[in-house]
Copies of this chain bind each other. A is one copy, B any other.
Amino acid sequence: MTKYRKELWFKTKTRRQFINITGQVEQCLAESGIKDGLCLVNAMHITASVFINDDEPGLHQDFEAWLEKLAPEKPYSQYKHNGSGDNADAHLKRSVMGREVVVAVTDGKFDFGPWEQIFYGEFDGKRKKRVLVKIIGE
């Protein structure tokens, strides 16, 4: 079994942002030399997500509006997290979008469907946060 591990760092300029990290994770796979196996990509922070969807700006606006409807940021007083905290909504939004994806590796490539792209979903940004890439296989 061969294994590979890398942390990717992100600091967004806005509180919420979606970043296409497919290229960076593909570079990890190339570095690993693994031809067949499973790749785990997960947010290391509990107010962020890693998810797979379409790289289309209109859809990302839809995600933003929809998540704000399901779990609004404000008023902060509606939430009990950390008393006077201001990021409870980020924990809820991340729960909808998910912490992690597991992607199959076949013939040295991610075994993706036609539109699958990996995104980092930031819901409480403007500070340095990490994504873990872990690959096992041979």
Chain A contact residues, CB within 8 Å of chain B: 1, 3, 5, 36-38, 40, 42-46, 51-54, 56, 58-59, 61-63, 66, 70-71, 79-83, 85, 88, 91-92, 94-104, 106, 111-116, 130, 132, 134, 136-138
Q: Contact: A46 with B42, CB < 8 Å?
A: no
Q: Is the CB of B134 within 8 A of A111?
A: yes
Query: Shortest beta-carbon distance, A3 to chain B, in Å?
Result: 5
Tell whether A59 pairs with B91 under 8 Å between CB atoms, given A36-B3, A38-B40, A101-B99: yes
Beta-carbon contact of B95 and A80 below 8 Å: no
In the complex, how many angstroms separate the beta carbon of A66 from the nearest chain B beta carbon? Answer: 5
With contact pairs A36-B3, A79-B62 given, residues A134 and B113 touching in the complex (Cβ less than 8 Å): no
